[in-house]
Amino acid sequence: MKDTFRQSMTWLHTWAGLVFCWILYFMFITGTLGYFDTEIDRWMQPELRTVENITLAQSIDTARARLESEAPGAERWLISPPGNRETPQLNIFWQQPRTEAGAGERGEQMLDVHSGEPLAARETAGGQTLYRMHYLLHYLPRDVGYRIVGVITLLMFVGLITGIVIHKNIFKDFFTFRPGRRKRSWLDIHNLLSVATLPFQLMITYSGLVFVITLWMPLVGFSSYGFDAGKLRAALTEIAGQVQVEPAGTPAPLGSLTAMADTAVEHWGDSIRSIEVKWPGDANARVIIRKSPQSISRFREQLVFDGVSGELLEAKTAETNAPQAVANSLIGLHEGLFAGPLLRWLYFVSGLLGAGMVATGAIYWVVKRRPKPGREAVASAGHRLVECLNVGTIAGLPVAIAAYFWANRLLPVDMAGRADWEIHVLFMVWLAALIHPRLRSLRTAWIEQLWLGAAAFTLLPLVNAATTDGHLLQSLAAGDWLFAGFDLTALATGLLLGIAAWQLGRHWQPGPKSEPVVLPAATLATRRDITR
Partner 1 sequence: MSAKTEENAGRRAWHIFARVFAAVVLGYLVANTGSVLLGFLLPLPKVDSVLTASLLSFAIYTAVIMWIFAVKTLRKMWLGLCLALVVTSLGAWLLYLLETAA
* Interface positions with partner 1 (CB under 8 A): 1-3, 5, 8-9, 11-12, 154, 157-158, 161-162, 165, 206, 209-210, 213-214, 216-217, 219-221, 223-226, 235-236, 238-239, 321-324, 326-327, 330
Q: CB of residue 203 vs partner 1: minimum separation in angstroms?
A: 14
- The neighbouring-strand residues paired with 435 are none
Nearer to partner 1, 154 or 428 (CB): 154
Distance between CA atoms of residues 161 and 506, nearest Å: 36
Q: CB of residue 224 vs partner 1: minimum separation in angstroms?
A: 5
Distance between CA atoms of residues 50 and 391, nearest Å: 40
Q: CB of residue 170 vs partner 1: minimum separation in angstroms?
A: 18
Nearer to partner 1, 204 or 303 (CB): 204
Residue 104 CB coordination number (10 Å): 14
Nearer to partner 1, 146 or 157 (CB): 157
Q: Measured between alpha carbons, how far is residue 272 from residues 68, 258, 305, 316, 466 in Å?
A: 21, 12, 14, 14, 38
Q: How many alpha carbons fall within 13 Å on the CB side of residue 57?
A: 5
Q: How many alpha carbons fall within 13 Å on the CB side of residue 102?
A: 2
Burial of 231 (0-12, 13-18, 19+ CB in 10 A): middle
Q: CB of residue 143 vs partner 1: minimum separation in angstroms?
A: 18
Q: CB of residue 76 vs partner 1: minimum separation in angstroms?
A: 25
Nearer to partner 1, 9 or 426 (CB): 9
Q: CB of residue 349 vs partner 1: minimum separation in angstroms?
A: 26
Nearer to partner 1, 160 or 497 (CB): 160
Nearer to partner 1, 326 or 492 (CB): 326
Residue 302 CB coordination number (10 Å): 20
Residue 91 CB coordination number (10 Å): 19
Nearer to partner 1, 9 or 497 (CB): 9
Q: CB of residue 239 vs partner 1: minimum separation in angstroms?
A: 6
Q: CB of residue 425 vs partner 1: minimum separation in angstroms?
A: 36
Nearer to partner 1, 101 or 322 (CB): 322
What sign does the dihedral 154-140-449-409 (CA atoms) show? Answer: negative
Distance between CA atoms of residues 317 and 320, nearest Å: 9
Distance between CA atoms of residues 277 and 166, nearest Å: 53
